[in-house]
Amino acid sequence: MKFEVAWHLLYLTKFKKMVSPLKVYAFEYTSGGGLTDQKIPYPLMHQGEVMHRALLADLSAIPDVKVITTHDSRLPMLGLPQSALVIPVHGKFAQHFNDCVQAADAVWLVAPEFGGILESLSRKVLRRKRILLGSRPGAIRVASSKLLTVRTLANAGIPVVDTYTPKDALPGKIEAWVVKPDKGAGCINTRIFSGVRKALAWIETNGDDGYVLQPFISGQPCSLTLICCDGLARVLSCNEQRIAVLDNQFHFLGSTVNSITDSTGEFHQLAQKIATAIPGLWGYVGVDFILTEKGIVVLEVNPRMTTSCAGLHASLGCNPAELVLGLLQRSASLSHPAFKAVTVSVDVRAFDVL
């Protein structure tokens, strides 16, 4: 943690001395070449493209910012700003990634937490002494695990979903169970079962002890989009999520950005508690929760850009990427006047329709 704080102070010093334009490498893992040696899972590919286009558009609209990005050569380059330097990736992306990090002043990562991908890439950026426009590796490590996240938040007095491993003593009166990877992303391999026996049997059949079980909670799936810095948080949007279930598997269909108002301030209070509980959160952060009749139940924290961020610019009427860059200069990003937000729908294709 001391190492990460030291580098954060170095970021600020370097940023103040930096000569315009600021060169930002915007890297989205699934569409940017991270999976060139394998088939890209369709839901992740489309969500990645949605976030990639939004991020590039916002960064390219900021004066004195030069955008560099990589793009999987198998995918069409649709909707990418002409001002961005787009480097096609044909083979293994490691060398392309290293070269782009070296050429940039700052790096903005959009990558999944599973397999330690986001944490590992973040550490590479730090080792090359570049500005990391995202959460610190220690915070990513916490948020990458469903178990570690709920335990950390529960210790801070935040209401969370009960989460178990297959080896735990499980309560017997739960009618429906959700099974998901402890270190997963989105709805990938997230399933629902009518009873604990069916849930455990599926886990055993799949031969993977990396799953966790959670009681199914009835309510509205929601999310918060935050910007965080030094243990502080600002709520940019409160969103309703659209989730479908097909063959007992959950599928994310999109979100309605800023469709929920924070009339009581409870979302702001929740955001601040989470930022305090996981102080290394920085920049864009997503929080998934269920809004029940009794209140909020937090499911997970995403230490990075989420799909809802694609609707932020249109919803807020301002450039959210500029707010994130403002955090480097200790600007008023966290105390920005209240936004006159409008509702915006972000749709993703959950199924590969031929």
- Which pLDDT score, from 0 to 100, does residue 113 have? 93
Pair of tokens at residue 291: 């809004």
Instruction: At 107, list the tokens.
Output: 């790096």
- Given this model, what pLDDT does residue 201 score? 95
- Enumerate domains of the chain plus CATH numbers: 2-133 (3.40.50.11770), 143-159+218-347 (3.30.470.20), 177-215 (no CATH)
Taking only the tens place, the pLDDT of each residue in 107-137 is 999 999 999 999 999 999 999 999 999 999 9
In angstroms, rounded to a whole number, what is the distance separating the alpha carbons of residues 127 and 239?
Answer: 36
d(C-alpha 273, C-alpha 70), whole Å: 36
DSSP-derived letter for residue 78 is: -
**Residue 7: what pLDDT?**
44
Q: Compute the distance between CA of residue 183 and CA of residue 177 in angstroms, rounded to an integer.
A: 18
- Token representation of residue 69: 């990005």
The tens digit of pLDDT for each residue in 5-40 reads 444 444 444 544 555 799 999 999 999 999 888 887
**Closest among 148, 115, 109, 123 to 303, alpha carbons compared:** 109
Distance CA(354)–CA(349), nearest Å, equals 12
Tokens of 72: 């999987």
Q: Tell how strand 232-246 and strand 177-181 pair up.
A: unpaired
CA angle centred on 205, ends 204 and 209, rounded to 5°: 40
* Per-residue model confidence (pLDDT) at position 225: 98
Cis before residue 181, ω within 30 degrees of 0?
A: no
* Residue 54 contacts residue 344 (beta carbons within 8 Å): no
Per-residue pLDDT at 309: 96
pLDDT recorded at residue 138: 98
pTM, entire model: 0.92
pLDDT, tens only, 144-177: 999 999 999 999 999 999 999 999 999 988 999 9
Give which of 94, 27, 124, 95 is closest to 67, Cα–Cα. 27
Angle between helix 146-155 and helix 266-277 axes, rounded to 10 deg: 110
List CB contacts of 278: < 8 A, sequence separation 6 or more: 139, 142, 143, 152, 153, 301, 303
Regions in the chain scoring below 50 on pLDDT: 1-13, 15-16, 353-354
3-state secondary structure of 338: coil
Strands 232-246 and 249-257: what pairing?
A: antiparallel
Say how far apart CA 131 and CA 26 lie, in whole Å. Answer: 12
